[in-house]
Structure 1
Amino acid sequence: MYFQKYIKNIRKILSYKLFTALVFLVLGLLLFAILYTNVKPETYDMELFSVADKTIRSPKTIEDEEKTAEERKKAAGEVEDVYVYKKEVAQNRVLLLTSIFDFVNEVNQEGSDKKKKEEEEGKTEKESTQLTASKLALLKSKLTADVTEDVTETISDQTLTQLLAAGPDELEKARSILINNVEAIMNDKIREDQANKIRSVLIDRIKSANLDKNVENASIELGKYAIIANEVFDSGLTEERKQQAMDEVEPVKILQGQIVVQEGHLIDRDIYRQLDTLGLLKGKPSVKPFIGLAIFVLLSIGAIYIPFTKLKEPEEKKQSYLLIFGIVFVGAILVMKLISLVAGLDQYDISYVFPAAMAPMLIRVMVNERFGLLMAIILAACGSIVFHDGISGTIDVEIALYILFSGLAGIIFLSDKNERFNLLRAGMLVSVVNVLLIFFLQFIGSGQMTNMEYVYFIINGAVSGILSAVLTMGILPFLEAGFGILSTMRLIELSNPNHPLLKKILIEAPGTYHHSVMVANLAELACEAIGANGLLARVGAYYHDIGKTTRPHFFIENQMNMENPHNKLEPATSKDIIIAHVTDGVAELKKHKMPKEIVDIAEQHHGTTLLKFFYYKAVEIQGDVEESDYRYPGPKPQFIEAAVISLADCVEAAVRSLNQPTPEAIKSLVDSIVQDRLLDGQLNECDITMKQLEIIKTTFCETLGGIFHSRIEYPK
């Protein structure tokens, strides 16, 4: 109760929105602080060429970019240069030589005609020399004009002159030898570095042909010119194959858990570079893990925030649920953290002892099933970070699955009855699920376990389930008392007939007890029909008239074989006694520290209705009477369950007073009572619709019809 007062004081200072924002902020900061050490990279004070004083493993899988680049460069270097054989080169060179000899023959033919004419005209030797020069010029012009390759830039004028000066037979012989040999040689693949050697072979063949010296020299120059490389280097294809070889090289990775350096080994340049790449050297910490943790915290808080904003409850109740969720969540994380620290000191893995179903079951009971599922999911995600196999910044998927399915099992096996024994039964079933989960995780990983390890893991799983149930049963009363939350389990306990207040009603006001049970039946069925809390309505109805135990005989249902004491009292006195049962009941319930909802039902079940009997009696006696003096102090019903109990209370008493409670009479009476309450404004302050009222009336009529059905009159 002190905790509730403390929270209320904070709420008075802060607005609802600011208070909610503060809760989420604190929750996020606590989550970040708790998980900080689990993601903080462990760094080492290592020097190059020093000896490692401990074995260091990689905390994550990361690409070794420098090593990858070296391997790709090596793969590219192993690719040989690509040469492309061009078969058309041989044909082109032969055609080129053929064209040269053809042009020489043409020029010589034209020159012969001119020479013959000059001889007939008696031209001098000087003029003959001019003729030779003109032949050379003509040949060069033909070669330049008709040949795709300008051979005059490479072949000397002397060579061309020697060809022009050769006789037809000698020229034809040279042509045949040169073209045949060039064609034969060029049909083989020739690279640039082989060209000179091939030219030497051609020269030897020309020299062995016994040509005229001048023709031989000219043929040699033409042959050297004709022989070129026909297998050329393809830079584009070479680069393409080198790139392909580089692409085929898989990135070199440092794997998570891989030993980077063994204790006692020398830290060479390669190891030092790997330590630097992993961010394990002091002075070079990485901020990425903390950014990742901040993102995780934001996602987790967001996953909690959105469902809470959509919760259709009063703001105060939503905040209470939020505080419960936050406290249970942080508590579960702290337990998880404690177990992980102990597990680090032990040679055995005790992470499976963590009571994974505790928090989801608590939230399932205190809030609802949806938030229990949310708790199981977020706890599983946190567990994967906390239980990280001793390697900072890693994620343990196995423990995440274990926590998730264990939490889900706790929610599923916890039935709606929610008795204390049901919690223990759920815990035992969770133990079975835990053991099966552990075997699943071990078998799917082909783990080799000894018989003792099997026993050890079975004990761990069983303890986790039982511990979840025990802790839930132990923590639940403190949460219920601290936040004033009326859980289903608490309602079931309050509905026990052996409760002191119910026994008091039964003994001191048996008629009231019977009336309360009848009202409880009506209210529960009506609430369930409209989707309200039927159990709350039943329990609230049990206690709504507890105030009548102060003066039980002043209420008609407890007057058996006795005169009505109100017949001897003034209307005002009777009114005070009747109205007092509300305030007396509230005081009695508060004295026994009953939940707020039960107290509210007792306080609101009459609203501000008029005590018509005593009011009209007073008017008859006194004449002028203030109507407000004969009304209950209220307040009017503030929530659906209180409104339904208010209607059921009036309906049950009215129907009981009918001489012949036929279905038609019951329906007419129920309609008139509900209509009267509507016109009197008694239902204005609760969130109830006309459609729900129609369902409530139908349910009342069906239930009362079953209770007050016609009976066969037995013979005397």
Structure 2
Amino acid sequence: MAAWKNILNFIKAFKNEHFLKTGLYLVFAFVLFFAMYSNIRPEKLELKLYANAEKTIVSPGTIADPFQTEEKRRDAVEQVKDTYSLKKDYAQNQVDLIDALFKAFNEVDIKLQEQAIAEDDSDNTEESSTEAQGQVIPQASFSEKMALLNEKLPDEVKIHQDLSRATLEALFNATPEQRIVARDHAVTAVNTIMSNRVEIKEIEAARENVDTELRFMNVNDPVKKATIEICKNAIIPNVVFDKEATEAKKQAAMDAVEPVYILQGEIIVKEGDVINSEAYRKLDLAGLLANKDTNSPFIGLSLFILLLLSAVYFYFRDDKSQDVRYLMIYVLTCSITIVLMKIISLFQKMNYSEIGYVVPVAMGAILIKLLINERLAILASMILAVCGSIIFNGGISSTFNFAIGIYFLIGCISGVLFLGKHNQRSKILQAGTLVGMINVVLVLAIILLKNGNILSLDSTPFFIMALLSGIVSAVLAIGLMPFFEAGFGILSTMRLIELSNPNHPLLRKILTETPGTYHHSVMVANLSDAACEAIGANGLLARVGAYYHDIGKTRRPQFFIENQMNRDNPHDKISPQLSKTIIISHATDGAEMLRQYKIPREIVDIAEQHHGTTLLKYFFHKASENNDNEIDESEFRYPGPKAQTKETAIIGIADSVEAAVRSMTNPSPQKIESIVKNIINDRLQDGQLDECDITMKELDIISKSFCETMQGIFHSRIEYPEMTKQKVKEA
């Protein structure tokens, strides 16, 4: 019992429109997935290292090769040379050291002189003191002088420690004037030499230049030699290794290396070659080894299908496509076309690599254009083209076959455009032939773009397949149209054109049995068609629906005034209640007759709803006058339902307008405009337009369209002289 309830609940849920739409999207997703997955799934090969390849293996796609990229980057880094920077401040530092050294020698002299003055036992007179200050102090030993020199020089200035004793003694014994000259020349020489680059390997050559720089120094030889030694010790390398700059150059070299890719279609190993370690690594990287499992293609295809379904979903949010039947037709048509693609693609394995050119892919776009609309047909063209480019991708050598994708896309769009608004079967076949011709031109363009020879015998089958693709697409579309129309109850443009044929049994019935009603229906059709086209509704549906809207009058034609030519009005002999019943029944009788003839639902609805729940005012007032009791108004109203679509509402208004204007003796443009506005206002006030999505702006456009059409029908005519004379004679 519980299982039976679950089944009933499932059936109820399935009947729910949202559940059904979700199911259709899932079915479409499964069809797309299983049709394309085998074409994008990497082939798993039983390959062993250092074994011979049984066939040539190519890369299924463009894949980054991080190992080769890293190798190239390492090579680029090895080519980068170390960067050495010139330190200009080194020259100033050495100059400062030399300056400090000579200053220390002077301070030592001053210190020794002060000590000599303090130790002098002579008279401390001003004269003797002055004399002592001018004397050279030779009494201090070399070690004492060195001790004083060490005290005067800072700890970081140890240049004197590398000088020879002879140099130190020469500077101790030199006069202050000699030291000034020596200092100036030493500073100039060091600054000049170290202003240029002095590398470690060039340090000896730089020091040899000191002799040249000091050759014109005007001092005694000991001081000159001492100065030369000081300068040579002061010159040091001023070009040092720049770690930051070197690292920056290495990074720039690495960044300049383009990533290495295993290109799509690139041969990894040829048939019969040994699979070395490098080829095996590439096979593993491409995911072609049997032990290398990857979900990337599965995820990628799922995302791709999700995007396609999202596009379909957003396209199906317009008013017309809310009907789930159109979604079913869309999914079924695309699925049939894709399955047909997949079946034909299997012949690629039999050395028919270009078999895709024969696929009648335009069939899907043509069917959707005929059964739904052009907008969705264009979307179907794009979906079929993209899916076809994957299905006919030639195996694992590539993911998309762009040539066949463009071929499918242009072929489908050509079919939609060539079809236009002419949806007769002959036009469909003509459109298919034109698609075939476009396909031939496309194949020719593709061959020339590939630098092929169009005159070779190998190219001939491609042209034949391209022509057949267009023609077969049209033939299949014509053959499948009746199945879709009957199976889904779709009222296509072609079906409407067939129903508008005057030889249709019901139209012939109206014409022969109720000629007045037939003429009235044609007039209503003209009014409705023009008004619908003015507001963007389906004018052809309104025209055909108007042809059939009064078919119920054929059961009792004499009770309707347009058919009462040269005969008495039977309503004068019966009660208003019976007249009301007869008049009202023509709507329900018409709907019943249309259902018996399997006429599409849209036209049946027009016949049943074109009067809505309007009041038969004439018979209501007549009954009220003949009956003392109050008459219930609802008894004299049509049973409805009210108009559900714009086309039905327009036909209902046009029906009243045509009858009212026809009853006028001398219709003028002002009278026609007045009666049209009154009828529309009456319908609005009576609530007859409450259940359709027609707007006040559209009603204003409809009113103007009715007036223009009616004025064209009831325009004034000139009275010919012969007719005037005949009237005078008769008088």
Measured against the shorter chain, the TM-score band is: 0.7 to 0.9
Q: Does 1:427 align with 2:432?
A: yes
Match of 1:639 in 2: 645
Per mean C-alpha deviation after superposition, the further-off stretch among 81-90 and 339-348 is: 81-90
- Cross-structure match for 1:324: 329
Counterpart-to-counterpart distance in 2, 1:117 and 1:584: 150
Please say if residues 45 and 281 of structure 1, whose CA atoms lie closer than 8 Å, have aligned partners that are also in contact: yes
Amino acid at match of 2:285: T
Among 278, 282, 294, which residue is 1:286 paired with? 294
Q: How far apart are the structure 2 equivalents of 1:661 and 1:189?
A: 112
Q: Which SS does the other structure have where 1:260 is aligned?
A: strand
Question: Structure 1 pair 163/430, CA: closer, same or farther in 2 (3 Å)?
Answer: same
Distance apart, 1:258 and its partner CA: 0.6
Residue 507 of structure 1 corresponds to 512
Cα displacement (A) at 1:246: 3.0
Partner letter of residue 506 of structure 1? L
Q: Counterpart of 1:361 in 2: which secondary structure?
A: helix
Alignment of 1:189-268 (within 5 A): 191-192=199-200, 225=233, 228-229=236-237, 231-268=239-276
Q: Write the letter of the residue equivalent to 2:145.
A: K
Cα 1:454–1:307 change in 2 (3 A) is: same
> In 2, Cα distance between the equivalents of 1:492 and 1:261?
62
- Counterpart Cα distance in 2 of 1:64 and 1:105: 72
1:600 partner amino acid: D
Mapped partners of 2:411, 2:34: distance in 1 = 26
1:230 to partner: Cα distance? 5.0
Q: What is the match of residue 303 of structure 1?
A: 311
The equivalent position to 2:362 in structure 1, one of 357, 360, 370, is 357
1:516-665 equivalences in 2 (<5 Å): 516-619=521-624, 623-624=628-629, 626-665=632-671
Per the TM alignment, residue 185 of structure 1 is displaced from its structure 2 partner at its CA by 10
TM superposition shift of 1:520: 1.2
TM-score computed with the length of structure 1 as normaliser: 0.82
Partner AA of 1:507 in structure 2: T
Letter in 2 for 1:271: A
The 10-residue stretch of structure 1 (616-625 or 426-435) with the greater mean CA deviation from structure 2: 616-625
- Equivalent in the alignment of 2:130: none
- Aligned residue for 1:211? none
Q: Shift of the alpha carbon at 1:47?
A: 2.5
Q: Distance in 2 between matches of 1:627 and 1:55?
A: 88
The equivalent of 1:412 in structure 2 is: 417
For 1:136, which of 135, 140, 146 is the aligned residue? 146
Residue 695 of structure 1 is matched in structure 2 by 701
1:275 aligns with 2:283: yes
- Going from structure 1 to structure 2, the CA distance change for 1:669 and 1:185 (only over 3 Å counts) comes to closer
Contact 1:340 1:351 in 2 (8 A): yes
Q: Which amino acid aligns with 1:432?
A: M
The residue aligned with 2:33 is 32
Find the residue that maps to 2:268 and give its secondary structure: strand
The Cα RMSD (Å) is 4.1
Tell me how far apart the structure 2 counterparts of residues 436 and 187 of structure 1 sit (CA, whole Å): 76
Question: Residue 138 of structure 1 aligns to which amino acid in structure 2?
Answer: L
What's 2:3 paired with? none
Q: How big is the shift at 1:641? A: 1.6
| CA shift digits 1:352-410 (9 cap, x unpaired) | 22233222222222222222222222222222322223226622222222222222222
Secondary structure in 2 matching 1:391: helix
Show the counterpart of 1:19: 20
1:566, distance to aligned residue in structure 2 (A): 4.3
Structure 1 residues 522 and 195: alpha-carbon distance in aligned structure 2, compared to 1, 3 A threshold: closer
Shift of 1:163: 6.2
Question: Aligned partners of 2:589, 2:288: CA distance in 1, in Å?
Answer: 72
Q: Which moved more, 1:692-701 or 1:485-494?
A: 692-701
- Measure the CA separation in 2 of the matches of 1:21 and 1:240: 58
Partner of 1:53: 54
State the percentage of identical aligned residues. Answer: 48
Post-superposition offset of 1:187: 10
1:359 counterpart letter in structure 2: G
Kindly state the Cα deviation for residue 644 of structure 1 after the two structures are TM-superposed.
1.9
Q: 2: distance between equivalents of 1:189 and 1:708?
A: 109
2: distance between equivalents of 1:165 and 1:223?
A: 17
Normalised by the length of structure 2, the TM-score is: 0.81
* Alignment partners' CA distance in 2, 1:223 and 1:559: 138
Residue 333 of structure 1 pairs with residue 343 of structure 2: no
Amino acid of the structure 2 residue aligned with 1:350: I
How far has the Cα of 1:333 moved from its partner? Answer: 2.0
CA distance in 2, matches of 1:97, 1:503: 127
Q: Distance in 2 between matches of 1:314 and 1:10?
A: 24
Tell me how far apart the structure 1 counterparts of residues 262 and 321 of structure 2 sit (CA, whole Å).
54
Give CA deviations for 1:608-661 in whole Å, capped at 9, x if unaligned. Answer: 334444445555555545544443322222222222222222332333333333
Does 128-137 or 23-32 show the bigger shift? Answer: 128-137
1:91 and 1:627, CA in 2 relative to 1: closer, same or farther beyond 3 A? closer
Give 1:523 shift: 1.8
CA contact (8 A) 1:72 1:245 kept: yes
Q: 1:312 aligns with which of 296, 319, 337?
A: 319
Whether the 8 Å contact between 1:38 and 1:392 is mirrored in structure 2 is no
| Rounded Cα–Cα distance in structure 1 between residues aligned with 2:533 and 2:246 | 81
Task: State yes or no: 1:457 paired with 2:458.
Answer: no
Name the CA distance, whole Å, in 2 between partners of 1:393 and 1:511: 69
Is 1:471 aligned to residue 476 of structure 2? yes
**1:3 aligned partner:** none
CA contact (8 A) 2:642 2:691 kept: yes
Instruction: Indicate conservation of the 8 Å contact 2:676/2:703, yes or no.
Output: yes
CA distance in structure 1 between the partners assigned to 2:150 and 2:399 by the alignment: 82
Corresponding residue number in structure 2 for 1:210: none
Q: Tell whether the 8 Å contact from 1:415 to 1:422 is kept in structure 2 after alignment.
A: no
Aligned in 2, Cα 1:669/1:160: closer, same or farther, shift over 3 Å?
closer
Task: Determine if contact 1:435/1:462 at 8 Å carries over to the other structure.
Answer: yes
Alignment CA distance shift 1:244-1:609 (3 Å)? closer
Distance in structure 1 (CA, Å) of the matches to 2:528 and 2:24: 37
Q: Tell whether the 8 Å contact from 1:144 to 1:152 is kept in structure 2 after alignment.
A: no
Cα distance between partner residues in 1 of 2:91 and 2:640? 116
Partner of 1:707: 713
Q: Contact (CA 8 Å) 1:432, 1:462: kept in 2 or not?
A: yes
**TM-aligned CA distance change 1:250 to 1:615, over 3 Å:** closer
Mean Cα displacement is larger for which, 604-613 or 487-496?
604-613
CA contact (8 A) 2:186 2:227 kept: no
Shift in alpha-carbon separation, 1:545–1:153, aligned structure 2, 3 A: same
For residues 547 and 621 of structure 2, the distance between their equivalents in structure 1, rounded to whole angstroms, comes to: 30
Contact 2:142 2:169 in 1 (8 A): no
- Please list the CA deviations of residues 245-282 of structure 1 after superposition, one character each: whole Å capped at 9, or x if unmatched: 33333322211111111122222222222222222222
Q: Is the Cα–Cα contact under 8 Å of residues 69 and 259 in structure 2 kept in the other structure?
A: yes
Provide, for residues 195-241 of structure 1, a one-character-per-residue CA deviation record: whole Å limited to 9, x for no partner.
689999999xxxxxxxxxx99x9999979855754554443443333
Residue 709 of structure 1 aligns with an amino acid whose one-letter code is H
Cα offsets for 1:57-77 (capped at 9, x unmatched): 111222221112112212222
**Equivalent AA in structure 2 for residue 64 of structure 1:** D
8 Å contact from structure 1 (residues 11, 19) kept in 2: no
Gaps of 5+ in 2: 1-9, 123-137, 212-221, 727-731
Match of 1:383 among 377, 383, 388: 388
Deviation at 1:134, TM superposition (A): 1.0
Q: Which residues of structure 1 form unaligned runs of 5+?
A: 1-8, 122-127, 204-213
Counterpart mapping for 1:5-154 below 5 A: 13-84=14-85, 131-144=141-154, 149-151=157-159, 154=162
